[in-house]
Amino acid sequence: MTALSHSLPTPADAARQAAELIWAHWQSGQVLRTLPEHCRPQTVAQGYAAQAQLAAVSGRTVVGWKIAATSSKGQAHIQVGGPLAGRLLSSQVFQDGATIPSAGNRMRVAEPEFAFVMGQDLPPQTAPYSTAQVMQAVAALHTAIEVPDSRLSPFTEAGQAQLLADNACARHFVLGPAAPEVWRTRDLSQHKVHARVERQAKLQGNGEGIGAQVLGDPRIALTWLANQLSGLGITLAQGQVVTTGTCMTPLDIEPGDAVMADYGDLGRVTMRFAD
The mean pLDDT of 115-144, rounded to a whole number, is 98
Domain annotation covers residue 20: no
Domain annotation covers residue 233: yes
Domain CATH code at residue 233 = 3.90.850.10
Residue 112: asked if its preceding bond is cis (omega within 30°), the reply is no
8 pLDDT band, cuts 50/70/90, is confident
Pair 26, 60: CB distance under 8 Å: no
Domain annotation covers residue 75: yes
**Residue 1, pLDDT above cutoff 50:** no
pTM: 0.95
Closest CA to 218 of 118, 64, 123, 113: 113
Please list, in sequence order, all residues whose beta carbon lies within 8 angstroms of the beta carbon of residue 255, skipping any fewer than 6 positions away.
102, 273, 274, 275
Domain annotation covers residue 56: no
Report how many domains make up the chain: 1
For residues 176 and 75, what is the distance between their CA atoms, to the nearest angstrom?
26
Domain annotation covers residue 45: no
Domain of 227, in residue numbers: 61-273
What confidence score (pLDDT) does residue 146 get? 98
Percent of the chain with pLDDT over 70: 97
Domain annotation covers residue 218: yes
pLDDT digits (tens, 9 = 90+) for 32-91: 999 999 999 999 999 999 999 999 999 999 999 999 999 999 999 999 999 999 999 999
What confidence score (pLDDT) does residue 5 get? 45
7 pLDDT band, cuts 50/70/90, is low
Domain annotation covers residue 109: yes
